[in-house]
Structure 1
C-alpha cells in the first residue's frame, strides 16, 4: 500500500482541525470511508489534538454572542409541527462529529451553557448534509438539514446508535432547514460518544421503529 504524501498528511490534519472549505471537507469525508491509509492518518491527527483540547480552559462568551451564533446557524427556532417528531413508545432509545461542524455552523466557540456535542453528517456523494448540536444542560438538540431532499413519499429519519444497543429513532427530519428537538430525559445519558445516522424511510418514519431504508449518512457525536 503506497504511503501518503506530505500534502495528504497535511490534508488529514486540516480535516481534523476543521479548516477545509466545505467541498474539500466533503471529499475528505468520503475518502475516509474508502482509503484505509488516509483514515488511519485522520485517526492519528485526532489522537494528537484530543489531549490538547483537554488543556483548554473554557471561556464563556457573553450570552448575546451565543444567542447570535444560534440565530445565525439555525434561525429563530419555531415549535415543531404536530407529528414532526415521532417518538417511539416503550423502549425508545436513540441511535448514533467533527469539530468542523461547529465551524460550518458559524464560529468556533467554547460553550456557555453546559457541555455541547456536535455531529456533522455528509452523504458519500455530498448531496445530503445534516448538522446536529446537542446541549447537555438543556437536553435540546438543534438540527440543520441541507442539500437534496428525500424522494417523493419518503422522509429522512435520524437515529442514535449507542454501543451495541439497537438504533433508536430520534424522529423524522425536516425536508430542509432547521428545527429544535428535545431529547427525552431517559435518553440523554446515551448521547455521549454515540453515533448519529440518517436513513431514508417511508413517509412518516420507519414502520415499527426499525430502520428499513438505505443509510444516507452517519457520524460520531463529538464533545466540544
Structure 2
C-alpha cells in the first residue's frame, strides 16, 4: 500500500521534530552551565624546556592566585597572561617532574597527569678519586634530573644523599671499582652521560 502524507500532517510532524530538537539543545546547554569553580582541562606543550612558556587551559582561571609546580611556585603577579580560559607562565629553572596544583579561594585543583620537560642535563665535574662508602659531589646543570649513577662494574645507585639544580651527592657503593661513571637522566628525552675521566677507587 502506498502512503501519502498531506501537507497539514507533514507540517505538524515537522513542527514536532523541531520542538524536540530545541528541547534537546536546551538540555545540553543546561548541562554545560559554568559552575563558577576553577577547572583545569589541559596544559602543554609536552616536552617544553625550562625557561620556556607553558599554557594551562580550563575554566574560571582568573581566580587562580598561584600555581604550584614540583619544587617551584609561580604567583599570579608573575603570570605572562591570565584569562578565564588560559594562563601562560614561564617555567622556573628549578621545576621538576610531578603534579601541578592551581590555587584559588575556592580551593586547590591538582592535575590528573604529571608535568614533564625536555632537560639538557650536563655534567661539569666528577671527583678523581674516592673510597667505597664516601659521599662524592658531582656538579653540573639540571643534575637534579639525574635518576641513576652507575659505577664500574655496572653498579647502579638510584638513592641520593642530596640533590639540587647544580649538584648531587651520592654514596660510593662498596662494590664500586675504578672506571668511568655513567649518569642516567629523566625528562621527555632521557640521556645517558658518561664521565670523560675515570673515578679511581682507592683502598
Quick check: TM above 0.5? no
Higher helix share: 1
TM-score, scaled to structure 2: 0.29
Larger radius of gyration: 2
TM-score for the superposition, normalised by structure 1: 0.27
